[in-house]
Amino acid sequence: MRIRGAGRIARAAAEALMEHAKLVEAESPEEFRQTMLEAARHLLATRPTAVSLKNGLLHSLKGLKIQLPGDGASADVEALRTGMIEAADRFIAFSNGAVAALAEHGSKRIKDGFTMMTICNSSAAVGVITKAHRDGKKIKVYACETRPKRQGLITVRELAAAGIDVTLIVDSAARTYMKQTDLVFVGADTVTAQGNVVNKIGTSQVALCAQEARVPFFVCAESYKFSMDTLEGDLVEIEEREPEEIADPSDFPGVKFGNPVFDITPAKYINAIITESGLIPPQGAYDVVKTLKEELDDTQL
Protein backbone atom coordinates (compact mmCIF):
# COMPACT_ATOMS: atom_id res chain seq x y z
CA MET A 1 0.00 0.00 0.00
CA ARG A 2 2.98 2.32 0.08
CA ILE A 3 2.82 2.33 -3.72
CA ARG A 4 -0.68 3.19 -4.97
CA GLY A 5 -2.22 3.55 -8.40
CA ALA A 6 -2.33 0.76 -10.95
CA GLY A 7 0.10 2.48 -13.30
CA ARG A 8 2.60 3.33 -10.58
CA ILE A 9 2.41 -0.24 -9.28
CA ALA A 10 3.30 -1.56 -12.77
CA ARG A 11 6.21 0.85 -13.15
CA ALA A 12 7.48 0.10 -9.62
CA ALA A 13 7.42 -3.64 -10.38
CA ALA A 14 9.35 -3.13 -13.63
CA GLU A 15 11.86 -1.00 -11.75
CA ALA A 16 12.23 -3.67 -9.04
CA LEU A 17 12.88 -6.32 -11.70
CA MET A 18 15.42 -4.04 -13.33
CA GLU A 19 17.26 -3.49 -10.04
CA HIS A 20 17.19 -7.23 -9.37
CA ALA A 21 18.59 -7.95 -12.84
CA LYS A 22 21.49 -5.60 -12.13
CA LEU A 23 22.43 -7.39 -8.88
CA VAL A 24 21.69 -11.07 -9.50
CA GLU A 25 24.62 -13.43 -9.71
CA ALA A 26 24.01 -16.50 -11.84
CA GLU A 27 26.23 -19.34 -13.05
CA SER A 28 24.22 -19.95 -16.21
CA PRO A 29 21.62 -18.27 -18.43
CA GLU A 30 19.04 -20.78 -17.16
CA GLU A 31 19.77 -19.88 -13.53
CA PHE A 32 19.47 -16.18 -14.34
CA ARG A 33 16.17 -16.77 -16.12
CA GLN A 34 14.76 -18.80 -13.21
CA THR A 35 15.85 -16.18 -10.67
CA MET A 36 14.14 -13.42 -12.65
CA LEU A 37 10.96 -15.46 -13.01
CA GLU A 38 10.92 -16.14 -9.27
CA ALA A 39 11.35 -12.43 -8.55
CA ALA A 40 8.51 -11.60 -10.97
CA ARG A 41 6.21 -14.14 -9.29
CA HIS A 42 7.09 -12.69 -5.90
CA LEU A 43 6.17 -9.19 -7.12
CA LEU A 44 2.97 -10.48 -8.76
CA ALA A 45 1.80 -11.94 -5.44
CA THR A 46 1.82 -8.51 -3.74
CA ARG A 47 -1.54 -7.30 -5.16
CA PRO A 48 -4.25 -9.46 -6.73
CA THR A 49 -6.54 -7.04 -8.61
CA ALA A 50 -4.62 -4.61 -10.83
CA VAL A 51 -3.63 -6.47 -14.02
CA SER A 52 -1.22 -3.63 -14.81
CA LEU A 53 1.14 -5.34 -12.37
CA LYS A 54 1.13 -8.62 -14.33
CA ASN A 55 1.34 -6.89 -17.71
CA GLY A 56 4.18 -4.63 -16.54
CA LEU A 57 6.09 -7.73 -15.43
CA LEU A 58 5.37 -9.55 -18.72
CA HIS A 59 6.53 -6.54 -20.74
CA SER A 60 9.76 -6.53 -18.70
CA LEU A 61 10.28 -10.29 -18.93
CA LYS A 62 10.39 -9.94 -22.70
CA GLY A 63 14.02 -9.15 -21.99
CA LEU A 64 14.52 -12.88 -21.34
CA LYS A 65 13.21 -13.80 -24.78
CA ILE A 66 16.65 -13.69 -26.30
CA GLN A 67 17.19 -16.97 -24.45
CA LEU A 68 14.30 -18.78 -26.11
CA PRO A 69 15.19 -21.67 -28.43
CA GLY A 70 15.79 -20.52 -31.99
CA ASP A 71 16.02 -16.95 -30.80
CA GLY A 72 19.62 -16.87 -29.67
CA ALA A 73 19.81 -19.85 -27.30
CA SER A 74 23.47 -19.03 -26.79
CA ALA A 75 22.72 -15.75 -24.99
CA ASP A 76 24.96 -15.53 -21.95
CA VAL A 77 24.11 -14.14 -18.50
CA GLU A 78 25.38 -10.64 -19.34
CA ALA A 79 23.30 -10.52 -22.52
CA LEU A 80 20.22 -11.56 -20.56
CA ARG A 81 20.97 -9.01 -17.87
CA THR A 82 21.19 -6.23 -20.44
CA GLY A 83 18.06 -7.54 -22.16
CA MET A 84 16.08 -7.47 -18.91
CA ILE A 85 17.25 -3.98 -17.94
CA GLU A 86 16.43 -2.60 -21.38
CA ALA A 87 12.99 -4.25 -21.55
CA ALA A 88 11.99 -2.98 -18.09
CA ASP A 89 13.27 0.48 -18.97
CA ARG A 90 11.30 0.42 -22.23
CA PHE A 91 8.12 -0.49 -20.36
CA ILE A 92 8.57 2.36 -17.85
CA ALA A 93 9.11 4.88 -20.66
CA PHE A 94 6.14 3.46 -22.60
CA SER A 95 3.92 3.66 -19.50
CA ASN A 96 4.81 7.30 -18.78
CA GLY A 97 4.28 8.16 -22.43
CA ALA A 98 0.90 6.38 -22.44
CA VAL A 99 -0.35 8.43 -19.47
CA ALA A 100 0.65 11.64 -21.28
CA ALA A 101 -0.92 10.59 -24.61
CA LEU A 102 -4.13 9.58 -22.85
CA ALA A 103 -4.29 12.99 -21.14
CA GLU A 104 -3.99 14.67 -24.52
CA HIS A 105 -6.91 12.66 -25.99
CA GLY A 106 -9.21 12.83 -22.97
CA SER A 107 -8.77 16.54 -22.28
CA LYS A 108 -10.29 17.37 -25.67
CA ARG A 109 -13.66 16.33 -24.25
CA ILE A 110 -13.42 18.98 -21.54
CA LYS A 111 -14.91 22.32 -22.56
CA ASP A 112 -14.23 25.68 -20.99
CA GLY A 113 -16.47 26.07 -17.92
CA PHE A 114 -17.02 22.32 -17.41
CA THR A 115 -17.27 20.61 -14.01
CA MET A 116 -15.83 17.11 -13.59
CA MET A 117 -16.21 14.40 -10.96
CA THR A 118 -13.60 11.78 -10.06
CA ILE A 119 -13.04 9.12 -7.41
CA CYS A 120 -9.95 7.78 -5.65
CA ASN A 121 -6.55 8.88 -6.96
CA SER A 122 -5.91 8.01 -10.57
CA SER A 123 -2.84 9.58 -12.16
CA ALA A 124 -4.44 8.92 -15.56
CA ALA A 125 -7.68 10.75 -14.66
CA VAL A 126 -5.80 13.55 -12.87
CA GLY A 127 -3.60 13.83 -15.99
CA VAL A 128 -6.64 14.37 -18.24
CA ILE A 129 -8.09 17.04 -15.94
CA THR A 130 -4.82 18.92 -15.39
CA LYS A 131 -4.12 18.91 -19.15
CA ALA A 132 -7.40 20.75 -19.74
CA HIS A 133 -6.44 23.25 -17.03
CA ARG A 134 -2.97 23.74 -18.55
CA ASP A 135 -4.66 24.41 -21.89
CA GLY A 136 -6.32 27.41 -20.28
CA LYS A 137 -9.81 25.99 -19.71
CA LYS A 138 -11.61 27.21 -16.61
CA ILE A 139 -12.78 24.03 -14.89
CA LYS A 140 -14.08 22.72 -11.56
CA VAL A 141 -13.74 19.27 -10.00
CA TYR A 142 -15.71 17.33 -7.39
CA ALA A 143 -13.45 14.66 -5.89
CA CYS A 144 -14.98 11.79 -3.90
CA GLU A 145 -13.24 11.09 -0.60
CA THR A 146 -13.02 7.33 -1.32
CA ARG A 147 -13.50 5.48 1.95
CA PRO A 148 -11.91 3.65 3.61
CA LYS A 149 -8.36 4.73 2.69
CA ARG A 150 -9.42 8.22 1.55
CA GLN A 151 -7.18 8.44 -1.51
CA GLY A 152 -9.45 11.29 -2.65
CA LEU A 153 -7.38 13.46 -0.31
CA ILE A 154 -4.34 12.88 -2.52
CA THR A 155 -6.37 13.89 -5.57
CA VAL A 156 -7.61 17.16 -4.06
CA ARG A 157 -4.09 18.08 -2.98
CA GLU A 158 -2.73 17.38 -6.48
CA LEU A 159 -5.50 19.33 -8.22
CA ALA A 160 -5.31 22.26 -5.80
CA ALA A 161 -1.51 22.39 -6.22
CA ALA A 162 -2.09 22.61 -9.99
CA GLY A 163 -4.34 25.62 -9.37
CA ILE A 164 -7.64 23.85 -10.13
CA ASP A 165 -10.92 24.74 -8.39
CA VAL A 166 -11.54 21.48 -6.49
CA THR A 167 -14.17 20.45 -3.91
CA LEU A 168 -13.80 17.40 -1.69
CA ILE A 169 -17.09 15.52 -1.21
CA VAL A 170 -17.98 12.39 0.77
CA ASP A 171 -18.73 9.36 -1.38
CA SER A 172 -22.42 9.40 -0.53
CA ALA A 173 -22.71 12.98 -1.92
CA ALA A 174 -21.89 11.81 -5.45
CA ARG A 175 -25.53 11.79 -6.57
CA THR A 176 -26.20 15.24 -5.12
CA TYR A 177 -23.22 16.78 -6.94
CA MET A 178 -23.80 14.81 -10.14
CA LYS A 179 -26.54 17.35 -10.98
CA GLN A 180 -23.81 19.98 -11.33
CA THR A 181 -21.33 17.73 -13.14
CA ASP A 182 -20.64 17.68 -16.90
CA LEU A 183 -18.25 14.73 -17.20
CA VAL A 184 -16.89 11.94 -14.97
CA PHE A 185 -13.30 10.70 -15.33
CA VAL A 186 -12.10 7.68 -13.35
CA GLY A 187 -9.06 5.41 -13.55
CA ALA A 188 -8.92 1.62 -13.87
CA ASP A 189 -7.09 -1.18 -12.17
CA THR A 190 -8.24 -3.74 -14.72
CA VAL A 191 -10.37 -3.63 -17.86
CA THR A 192 -11.86 -6.98 -18.87
CA ALA A 193 -12.00 -8.28 -22.43
CA GLN A 194 -15.77 -7.71 -22.21
CA GLY A 195 -15.29 -3.98 -21.49
CA ASN A 196 -16.20 -4.02 -17.78
CA VAL A 197 -13.96 -1.92 -15.53
CA VAL A 198 -12.52 -2.87 -12.16
CA ASN A 199 -11.63 0.23 -10.16
CA LYS A 200 -11.64 1.48 -6.57
CA ILE A 201 -14.72 0.63 -4.52
CA GLY A 202 -17.49 3.17 -5.10
CA THR A 203 -16.71 3.69 -8.78
CA SER A 204 -19.74 1.68 -9.94
CA GLN A 205 -22.06 3.78 -7.75
CA VAL A 206 -20.66 6.94 -9.33
CA ALA A 207 -21.24 5.35 -12.76
CA LEU A 208 -24.82 4.54 -11.82
CA CYS A 209 -25.45 8.14 -10.71
CA ALA A 210 -23.87 9.42 -13.92
CA GLN A 211 -26.06 7.14 -16.03
CA GLU A 212 -29.20 8.27 -14.23
CA ALA A 213 -28.25 11.94 -14.64
CA ARG A 214 -27.12 11.43 -18.29
CA VAL A 215 -23.59 12.57 -17.47
CA PRO A 216 -20.92 10.98 -19.72
CA PHE A 217 -18.70 8.54 -17.80
CA PHE A 218 -15.11 8.07 -19.03
CA VAL A 219 -12.52 5.53 -17.89
CA CYS A 220 -8.84 6.42 -18.28
CA ALA A 221 -6.83 3.23 -18.87
CA GLU A 222 -3.53 2.56 -20.61
CA SER A 223 -3.44 -0.63 -22.73
CA TYR A 224 -1.50 -2.58 -20.07
CA LYS A 225 -4.55 -2.32 -17.78
CA PHE A 226 -6.51 -4.66 -20.06
CA SER A 227 -6.69 -8.27 -18.94
CA MET A 228 -5.75 -11.16 -21.26
CA ASP A 229 -6.87 -13.70 -18.65
CA THR A 230 -10.48 -12.47 -18.79
CA LEU A 231 -10.60 -13.40 -22.49
CA GLU A 232 -10.07 -17.00 -21.41
CA GLY A 233 -12.90 -16.81 -18.87
CA ASP A 234 -10.98 -15.94 -15.72
CA LEU A 235 -12.66 -13.58 -13.25
CA VAL A 236 -10.75 -10.66 -11.74
CA GLU A 237 -9.95 -11.28 -8.09
CA ILE A 238 -11.25 -8.45 -5.93
CA GLU A 239 -8.87 -7.68 -3.05
CA GLU A 240 -10.53 -7.84 0.37
CA ARG A 241 -8.62 -5.94 3.04
CA GLU A 242 -8.55 -6.00 6.81
CA PRO A 243 -11.52 -4.60 8.84
CA GLU A 244 -9.23 -2.19 10.71
CA GLU A 245 -9.36 0.05 7.63
CA ILE A 246 -13.05 0.66 8.46
CA ALA A 247 -13.21 0.58 12.27
CA ASP A 248 -11.67 -1.20 15.27
CA PRO A 249 -13.45 -4.59 15.35
CA SER A 250 -12.87 -4.86 19.13
CA ASP A 251 -15.28 -1.90 19.55
CA PHE A 252 -18.02 -3.90 17.78
CA PRO A 253 -18.31 -7.37 19.33
CA GLY A 254 -20.39 -9.75 17.22
CA VAL A 255 -20.15 -7.55 14.10
CA LYS A 256 -18.72 -8.79 10.79
CA PHE A 257 -16.95 -6.41 8.43
CA GLY A 258 -16.88 -6.39 4.63
CA ASN A 259 -14.05 -4.47 2.97
CA PRO A 260 -13.75 -5.24 -0.75
CA VAL A 261 -11.51 -2.48 -2.13
CA PHE A 262 -12.50 -2.62 -5.81
CA ASP A 263 -15.79 -2.95 -7.66
CA ILE A 264 -16.87 -3.65 -11.21
CA THR A 265 -18.54 -1.08 -13.44
CA PRO A 266 -20.47 -2.77 -16.24
CA ALA A 267 -19.61 -1.75 -19.82
CA LYS A 268 -23.13 -0.40 -20.34
CA TYR A 269 -22.46 2.50 -17.96
CA ILE A 270 -19.25 3.55 -19.75
CA ASN A 271 -19.30 6.07 -22.61
CA ALA A 272 -15.68 5.49 -23.62
CA ILE A 273 -12.38 4.12 -22.38
CA ILE A 274 -9.56 6.57 -22.99
CA THR A 275 -6.34 4.77 -23.92
CA GLU A 276 -3.01 6.03 -25.26
CA SER A 277 -4.28 5.15 -28.75
CA GLY A 278 -7.51 7.12 -28.40
CA LEU A 279 -11.08 6.89 -27.13
CA ILE A 280 -12.64 3.47 -27.65
CA PRO A 281 -16.09 2.11 -26.82
CA PRO A 282 -15.96 -0.48 -24.00
CA GLN A 283 -16.72 -3.11 -26.67
CA GLY A 284 -13.32 -2.23 -28.18
CA ALA A 285 -11.63 -3.82 -25.16
CA TYR A 286 -11.59 -7.13 -27.05
CA ASP A 287 -9.32 -5.67 -29.74
CA VAL A 288 -6.97 -4.14 -27.17
CA VAL A 289 -6.69 -7.53 -25.43
CA LYS A 290 -6.03 -9.30 -28.74
CA THR A 291 -3.21 -6.89 -29.57
CA LEU A 292 -1.78 -7.34 -26.07
CA LYS A 293 -1.88 -11.11 -26.52
CA GLU A 294 0.03 -10.88 -29.79
CA GLU A 295 2.63 -8.77 -28.02
CA LEU A 296 2.95 -10.77 -24.78
CA ASP A 297 1.66 -14.27 -25.38
CA ASP A 298 5.08 -15.90 -25.75
CA THR A 299 6.19 -14.45 -22.39
CA GLN A 300 5.21 -16.60 -19.45
CA LEU A 301 4.97 -15.92 -15.76
Considering the complex, what minimum distance in angstroms separates the CB of residue 250 from ligand RI2?
A: 26
CA quadruple 217, 10, 140, 106: dihedral, nearest 10: -50
In the complex, which residue's CB is closest to ligand RI2? Answer: 187
Edge to edge, what strands does the sheet with 183-186 contain? 165-169, 140-144, 115-119, 183-186, 217-220, 272-275, 278-280
Q: Pick the catalytic residue: 71, 112, 182, 189?
A: 189
Q: Which of residues 182-221 bind ligand RI2 (CB under 6 A)?
A: 186-189, 199-200
Query: How many of the other CB atoms lie within 10 Å of CB of 109?
Result: 19
Closest to ligand RI2 by CB, 5 vs 83, is: 5
Pick the stretch among 116-124, 134-142, 208-216, 275-283 that binds ligand RI2 (CB under 6 A).
116-124
Closest to ligand RI2 by CB, 120 vs 236, is: 120
Q: Is 273 helix (H, G, I), strand (E, B) or coil?
A: strand
**Among 277, 228, 229, 219, residue whose Cα is nearest residue 94:** 277
Q: Which of residues 261-300 bind ligand RI2 (CB under 6 A)?
A: none
Closest to ligand RI2 by CB, 79 vs 148, is: 148
Rule CB under 6 A: say whether 105 interacts with ligand RI2: no
The type of residue at 244 is: E
Edge to edge, what strands does the sheet with 197-200 contain? 190-191, 197-200, 262-265
**Among 8, 5, 4, residue whose Cα is nearest residue 16:** 8
Closest to ligand RI2 by CB, 85 vs 188, is: 188
Considering the complex, what minimum distance in angstroms separates the CB of residue 81 from ligand RI2?
A: 29
Measured between alpha carbons, how far is residue 204 from residues 46, 92, 174, 199, 266 in Å?
A: 25, 29, 11, 8, 8
Considering the complex, what minimum distance in angstroms separates the CB of residue 200 from ligand RI2?
A: 3
Q: Which of residues 43-72 bind ligand RI2 (CB under 6 A)?
A: 50
Closest to ligand RI2 by CB, 48 vs 243, is: 48
Closest to ligand RI2 by CB, 199 vs 271, is: 199
Quick one: 241 exposed, middle or buried, by C-beta within 10 A (0-12, 13-18, 19+)? middle
Q: How far apart are CA 294 and CA 62, in angstroms?
A: 13
**Is residue 129 a contact partner of residue 159, using CB atoms and an 8 Å limit?**
yes
Quick one: 214 exposed, middle or buried, by C-beta within 10 A (0-12, 13-18, 19+)? exposed
**Is residue 224 a contact partner of residue 55, using CB atoms and an 8 Å limit?**
yes
Clarify whether 120 is annotated catalytic.
yes
Q: Pick the catalytic residue: 120, 144, 209, 220?
A: 120
Query: How many residues in the shown chain lie near ligand RI2 by CB under 6 A?
Result: 17
Task: Using CB under 6 A, pick the residue from 85, 124, 139, 272 that binds ligand RI2.
Answer: 124
Considering the complex, what minimum distance in angstroms separates the CB of residue 120 from ligand RI2?
A: 4
Which residues are at the interface with ligand RI2 (CB under 6 A)? 4-9, 50, 120, 122-124, 186-189, 199-200
**Would you please indicate which residues are annotated as catalytic (active-site) residues?**
120, 189
